[in-house]
Amino acid sequence: MNKNIFFIIPLLIIGSCRLSTEQETKTGAIAKMEMLKADRDFSRLCEEKGMKTAFIEYIDSNGVLLRPNRLPIAGADAIDFLIQQNDTDYTMTWEPRNGAIARSGELGYTYGVYAIRPTNKDTVIYGTYVSIWKKEKDGTWKYVLDSGNEGIGDSKEDE
C-alpha cells in the first residue's frame, strides 16, 4: 500500500496542476471576452453620446492619453483635456480586431480600426488604435492608456 502512495501523489499533483491551468485558461478567456465587449460598448457610447462623454465614462482615474504632438496626458489632466474637446463636428466609432489578457484576468489590451465621420463631409478617416484596459474592483473595465494613429490609406468615400 505504501508503494502505491508514491504513484498516487504525483498523479494527484499533476492532475491538480492541469485543472488549475484549465481554470486559468477559462478565466482568461472570459475576461478577454468581457474586455472586448467593454471596448465595443465604449465605441457604441461614443457613437450615441459623443466622443467626450464616452472617453470620460471609460477612462480610469489614472488613465493616460497619447496624442500626436503632445507629451502623455495623465490622470486629472487627461480628464481636463477630454472635457475641452469639441466633438460636435464628427462621429467616431471603432471595432476591436483582437486583444490579449494577463493571466490574472485583470489587465489586457485591445487593438483595432477606428473611423471618424465628419458631419459636413462625405468622407471617412480611418486609423488604428490600441487601448490598455484594467478591470476595476466592481468588475467593470476602464482604459488606462489610449493611443491611435491616423492613416489607413487616404480618407475614403463613405460607402
Residue 18 has pLDDT above 60, yes or no: no
Domain count for the chain, please give it.
Answer: 1
3 state SS of 85: coil
Give residue 98's domain range: 2-157
pTM: 0.80
Mean per-residue pLDDT for 71-88? 96
3 state SS of 35: helix
Q: Which residues of 68-79 are buried (b: 16+ CB within 10 A; e: fewer)?
A: eeeeebbeeebb
* 83-136 per-position pLDDT tens digit: 999 999 999 999 999 999 998 899 999 999 999 999 988 899 999 999 999 999
Alpha helices (runs of H) in the chain, residue ranges in sequence order: 2-49, 51-58, 75-83
Residue 11 pLDDT? 44
CB 77 within 8 A of CB 159: no
Indicate the angle between helix axes 51-58 and 2-49, nearest 10 degrees: 150
**CATH code at position 17:** 3.10.450.50
Phi then psi for residue 107, to 5 deg, are -145, 140
Residue 2 pLDDT? 56
